[in-house]
Amino acid sequence: MRKFCPKCHTWKSNKDFNHGKCKLCEKSERDKRNKRISFERIHATITEETGIHIIGVDVFNSDRTVIEARQIAMYLIRKLIQPKPTSGTVGKYFGKDHATVLYACKTIKNHIDTEKEFCQMIDRIEKKLLS
């Protein structure tokens, strides 16, 4: 039996549908989302939101605001980009190692759970990236 997909306007067999949705349309939506969200776009959005350039600044800069902005970027890269990049890949982008990325993600999750304003800022950045 064949079904019609109103989104891509084609007839497909039952095996081409997953829970009532066309697998091809789902894949193309996922691909579009992944093309929109990149390391560079996350970096640019965080720079715009915080006013802090996190790339090009001395990698060993210990200024708390720069570190926090870099940690937010690492967290969002790991959360939003599919397939999820390895912590090593993310670390190389920032000139750090994988353990730093894991620590950054843990730190940001803790901030989100405990600080309402911080959570709202992360939500704003995510909405910008997903729009």
**Rounded Cα gap, residues 34 and 47, in angstroms:** 20
DSSP 82: S
Q: In this predicted structure, what is the pLDDT of residue 11?
A: 62
Q: What angle do CA 128, 124, 95 make, to 5 degrees?
A: 75
Contact 57, 70 (CB under 8 A): no
Contact 30, 42 (CB under 8 A): no
Q: What is the pTM of this model?
A: 0.71
Contact 14, 28 (CB under 8 A): no
pLDDT, one tens digit per residue, over 40-85 is 889 899 989 888 887 765 566 678 888 899 999 999 999 998 888 9
Please state the φ and ψ torsions of residue 97, each to the nearest 5 degrees: -100, 175
Q: Please name the residue that has the structure tokens 């894949």.
A: 27
Show the domains of the chain with their CATH numbers. 2-33 (no CATH), 37-130 (1.10.1750.10)
Q: What would the two tokens of residue 115 be?
A: 């600080």
